[in-house]
């Protein structure tokens, strides 16, 4: 929990309580349904919560928008982002129902009112549009783009960047990736904006981890 306060200082009391509750809830649920690898559960706040919040460090989303988390798994990055942005609606989607059971139970336990879930594949969602799609290493970039494109609105936003400069962003995909991404980016035929996470957070874990944004 302390690692979050190293980088973010303006949480409300409720947000502090919600973030603090995650460790016990995930440890308890992980005994029943394995949503986080056993070796990673002890590093929950660094490897899962803070990693998810890299998106919040880089993008100061405006209030009232809607974001879909594609392949949310155990709720990352969706749950930490929903705590961070209480006035944004998050729709967490996964094809594995038992993982969503964990997500729903945790959201309910911490009284997270801005989260909805759907047991489906992203490509099967019809008649819904979102301002942004987020995802964490669930599929190659070309697939994430194919799945997210039909789900995105054509919106434009002025968003403060991690350097506190205002930039115009269009609706798009923001994904957390790691390793050598040259081939994956080439195969996607996209030109993403790439942000090195170790420019945001200085822990060794974040070396060779990236945020990719494609409008």
| Residue 76 labelled as part of a binding site | yes
What is the distance of C-alpha 90 from the center of its chain? Answer: 10
The tokens for 131 are 């301002």
| Residue 43 labelled as part of a binding site | no
Residue 96's nearest CA partner among 126, 63, 118 is 118
| Residue 90 labelled as part of a binding site | no
Residue 206's nearest CA partner among 183, 179, 185 is 179
Backbone φ and ψ for 130, nearest 5 degrees, come out as -130, 160
Beta carbons of 182 and 210 less than 8 angstroms apart: no
Residues 6+ apart with CB under 8 A from 127: none
Q: What is the largest CA-CA distance in the chain?
A: 45
| Residue 122 labelled as part of a binding site | yes
Task: Give the integer Cα–Cα distance in Å for 53 and 50.
Answer: 5
Residues 6+ apart with CB under 8 A from 37: none
Task: Give the integer Cα–Cα distance in Å for 213 and 12.
Answer: 28
Backbone φ and ψ for 68, nearest 5 degrees, come out as -105, 135
Beta carbons of 18 and 112 less than 8 angstroms apart: yes
| Residue 42 labelled as part of a binding site | no
- Which residue positions form the known binding site for S-adenosyl-L-methionine? 71, 76, 122-123, 136
- Which residue positions form the known binding site? 71, 76, 122-123, 136
């Amino acid at each position: 929990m302390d690692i979050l306060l190293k980088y973010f200082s303006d949480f409300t009391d409720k947000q502090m309580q919600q973030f603090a509750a995650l460790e016990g809830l995930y440890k308890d649920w992980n005994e029943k349904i394995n949503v986080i690898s056993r070796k990673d559960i002890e590093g929950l706040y660094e490897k899962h919560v803070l990693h998810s919040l890299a998106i919040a460090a880089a993008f100061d989303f405006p209030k009232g928008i809607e974001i879909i988390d594609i392949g949310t798994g155990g709720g990352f990055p969706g749950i930490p982002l929903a705590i961070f942005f209480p006035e944004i609606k998050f729709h967490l989607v996964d094809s594995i129902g038992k993982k969503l059971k964990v997500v729903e139970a945790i959201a309910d336990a911490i009284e997270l009112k801005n989260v909805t879930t759907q047991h489906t594949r992203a490509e099967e969602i019809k008649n819904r549009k979102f301002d942004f799609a987020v995802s964490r290493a669930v599929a190659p970039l070309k697939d994430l783009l194919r799945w997210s494109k039909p789900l995105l609105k054509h919106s434009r936003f002025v968003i403060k960047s991690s350097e506190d400069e205002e930039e115009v962003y269009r609706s798009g995909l923001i994904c957390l990736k790691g390793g050598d991404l040259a081939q994956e980016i080439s195969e996607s035929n996209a030109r993403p904006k790439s942000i090195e996470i170790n420019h945001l957070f200085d822990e060794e874990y974040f070396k060779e981890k990236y945020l990719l944004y494609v409008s």
